Amino acid sequence: MDFVEFSSELPKIEKIPLPGLWRDHGLIPDPNHLRWAGVLCLFYPDCNGKAHFVLIRRQSDGGAHSGQIAFPGGRRDDQEVDLSLTALRECEEEIGVSRETIELIKPMSELYIPPSDFWVQPFIGITHSTPEFTPQAEEVAGIIEVPAKDLFAELYLKMETIETPSLGSVKAPVFDFQGNRVWGATALMLYEMRQLMGQIIS
């Protein structure tokens, strides 16, 4: 998928309503909740001009999300009034991409993560230069660069039955990118992005 073509089409999603696929869980985002996080799905051109996005593997530190595949992101600082600032800061800290080079395209649906008691606000962003990733050793065990076309390929997506506290047994998406299993909240966010961007990207 050519990055120039992809980046020219991506801004069209700004005017498309969110699918809201995972909001029917009986929970309403609480702005006064003490634990909010911002994460960023960053699209960029690789050295061959192909559109990619980046995921990280978190360090195995024994925490709620130890060793999992995720977007760059983390907890909101007290002085951050907008979660987009959190997502940009965390992206810069965790993978070394300057926030000054990133254009935010659209916020996605908020998700509540019961194991860590976080509400998470995902964002879609884009940078027009090929990043030189610098993983933050304390937080990031590895960088995973995924061709954007793989997000839309049925080969890398399957639906699995999971148990949830509020809905019981439900079908949820699981992605496999380069042998990396992406599940849980990150997979839900990716699936919503896939549904949204699929309306404007062939």
Q: Check if the beta carbon of residue 25 is closer than 8 Å to that of residue 164.
A: yes
Rounded CA-CA distance 73/165 in Å is 25
Query: Model confidence over 11-67: pLDDT tens digits?
Result: 999 999 998 765 545 566 777 777 899 999 999 999 999 999 999 999 986 565 568
Domain 3-150: top CATH class: alpha beta
Other beta carbons within 10 Å of 7: 18
Please report, to the nearest 10 degrees, the dihedral formed by the alpha carbons of residues 190, 193, 197, 202 taken in order.
20
Query: Model confidence over 114-142: pLDDT tens digits?
Result: 878 889 999 999 999 999 999 999 999 99
